[in-house]
Amino acid sequence: MMQKAITAGAFAIVLAAIGSFAAGGSKMRITSSAFQEGANIPSKFTCDGADTSPPLQIADFPSGGKSLALIVDDPDAPSGLFTHWTVWNISPQTSTINEGSTPKGVQGTNDFGKSGYGGPCPPSGTHRYYFKIFALDRELDLPFGAKRAQLDAAMKGHVVAQGELMGRYSRKK
């Protein structure tokens, strides 16, 4: 009886591991020396400051990954999910994105209608900003300036690992 329980438990763990990997559940890390997970994003990286991108560090890129995609968004925007930055076909060797720089890759159009980084600029209250990194099993065939919906569709079924960093920001009145 005990052997059956152990075997069933081991089988469930293997299935869960396979399922999470297939769903892009393998974990990567994305961090910033400018702010900690869940902490406030310094105004320097927002519309109230220089509006430059914060420094980012990427770790735990999985074997089998062929490229990276970076998405920065705000799920608390009044209009729904608001995208601040998209870049894809980033080299898998990329482990650092310096402050104010864009990783070498293809940039999309953000919800400000521009390519490149658009920092936090909430109309009111405190918003959460997610810096998401995705390891993909291929490069994406998307043109410069593609919109977020096109990027999401192209990534579907190709995410082998992902990670996220969340920071908060509210504007000073």
The answer to whether residue 25 scores a pLDDT higher than 90 is no
Burial tier of 76 (Cβ tally within 10 Å: 0-12, 13-18, 19+):
middle
Q: Whole-prediction pTM value? A: 0.85
Average of per-residue pLDDT across 145-167: 97
What mean pLDDT is predicted for residues 8-34?
58
The pLDDT of residue 11 is above 90: no
pLDDT of 60 = 95
pLDDT at 63: 87
pLDDT over 70 percentage in the chain:
85
- H or E stretch at 128: strand 127-136
- Residue 45 gets which letter from DSSP? G
Quick one: which H or E segment has residue 50? none
Comparing C-alpha atoms, which of 118, 115, 117 is closest to residue 142? 115
pLDDT tens digits, 51-86:
999 999 999 999 889 999 999 999 999 989 999 999
User: Whole-angstrom Cα distance, residue 108 to residue 153?
Assistant: 13
Cα–Cα distance for residue pair 119/131, rounded to 1 Å: 11
Task: Return d(Cα 166, Cα 173) in angstroms, integer.
Answer: 23
8-state DSSP, 94 = -
